[in-house]
């Protein structure tokens, strides 16, 4: 019985930890140079993504991908993403703590 409870507690903790920290997306390396791993941009003209609404990020990436939103370099980058990549990246960036500093000045 005790073993069962310990196992149940362990499973609960793993699930809770996963909910708090989404898995690192496979394509994060494509974004980090400009938006940062944590979504805090250090590049002038490049927006912070940390803490942004998840649905907004999904919609923005889908719009870059289908060309209805046009911006260099996001159209060509979004073209390399599958819908599951977009979902994973939007989840990741939306879960990062929001930006501490204003965007870098151009």
Residues that bind ligand HEC (CB under 6 A): 27, 30-31, 33-35, 45-47, 49, 57, 60-61, 71, 73-74, 77, 81, 89
Nearer to ligand HEC among residue 16 and residue 44 (C-beta)? 44
Burial tier of 58 (Cβ tally within 10 Å: 0-12, 13-18, 19+): middle
- What span, in angstroms and rounded, lies between the C-alpha atoms of 14 and 48? 29
Least distance (Å) between residue 5 CB and ligand HEC:
41
Least distance (Å) between residue 17 CB and ligand HEC:
24
Structural contact between residues 58 and 90, judged by C-beta atoms closer than 8 angstroms: yes
């Amino acid at each position: 019985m005790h073993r069962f409870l310990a196992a149940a507690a362990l499973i609960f903790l793993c699930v809770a930890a996963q909910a708090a920290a989404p898995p690192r997306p496979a394509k994060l390396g494509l974004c980090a140079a400009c938006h940062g791993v944590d979504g805090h941009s250090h590049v002038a003209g490049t927006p912070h993504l940390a803490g942004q609404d998840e649905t907004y990020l999904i919609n923005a990436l889908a719009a870059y991908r289908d060309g209805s939103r046009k911006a260099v370099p996001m159209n060509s980058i979004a073209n390399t993403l599958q819908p599951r990549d977009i979902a994973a990246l939007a989840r990741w960036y939306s879960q990062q703590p929001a930006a501490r500093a204003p965007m870098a000045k151009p």
